[in-house]
Amino acid sequence: METMTPINVDGVQVIFEGIRRLRWEHQPTWRHQPATLGRPRPAEWMVGSIWPDKTTGARVRRQIENGQRTIVVIDGTTPIATVSREHVPTVPVGAVELDGPDEGIRTLSIPPLTWLSPADRARGEAFSASVSGITCSAFAPGSPVLVERDLIGTRKALRFVYRAGDISFGELRDSIREMYQPGPKAAGLHSLDRTIPDHRVA
């Protein structure tokens, strides 16, 4: 599933953390070589910004505080983009440029979860740490969608989801139904396939 962040699914705001926060802008009068970011980009596309800008970030935090159901999808990949300098003449606000041997290339890192409040960011980082210790070999078959099991049945608006690689629209809808349905609380991580032992960092 390829899409920009955020999207709305059944009234829930879905935000994709990582490389999908990189915004491309259309520059129809410019002609450059395709950028390198896992797949070719049309020659008229340029890196414009990192989502969200200051105003959007404040609005999203306010929405979460006011109870807007929001899911942050984490895919476990390293949020680093390698782009030709002619496609990114300046480093966008929110990105960090990494040193590289090629002067014609910019390597941009997108620090995760920086747009959240300090408390929500810490929770997201703890969730990321908990799933990082779980390898795909622990699951059969395939890679599951992991959610915060102890929040199922609560009124907590913000939730984190982990899916290695792309997540389908159907998986998103299933995750939303599971996470926000009334039900008993239980500690640990939970997948749509089976319960996962609690690997969270204390």
pLDDT digits (tens, 9 = 90+) for 123-136: 999 998 888 766 44
**Angstrom distance (rounded) from CA 38 to CA 133:** 26
**Angstrom distance (rounded) from CA 9 to CA 37:** 27
pLDDT tier, 184 (very low <50, low <70, confident <90, very high otherwise): low
At 138-173, the pLDDT tens digits run 443 446 788 888 888 889 999 999 987 788 888 888
pLDDT > 80? residue 85:
yes
Tokens coding 93: 């606000």
Location of structure tokens 């390698």 = 82
How many Cα atoms occupy the beta-carbon half-sphere of 73 within 13 Å? 32
Q: What is the pLDDT of residue 13?
A: 95
**Angstrom distance (rounded) from CA 169 to CA 175:** 10
Q: What is the pLDDT of residue 59?
A: 96
Tell which wins on pLDDT, 154 or 46.
154
Radius of gyration of the chain (CA): 18
Report how far Cα 82 is from the mean position of its chain's Cα atoms. 18
Tokens coding 38: 């896992």
Mean pLDDT to the nearest integer, 68-84? 89
Tell which wins on pLDDT, 179 or 4.
179
Q: What is the pLDDT of residue 31?
A: 46
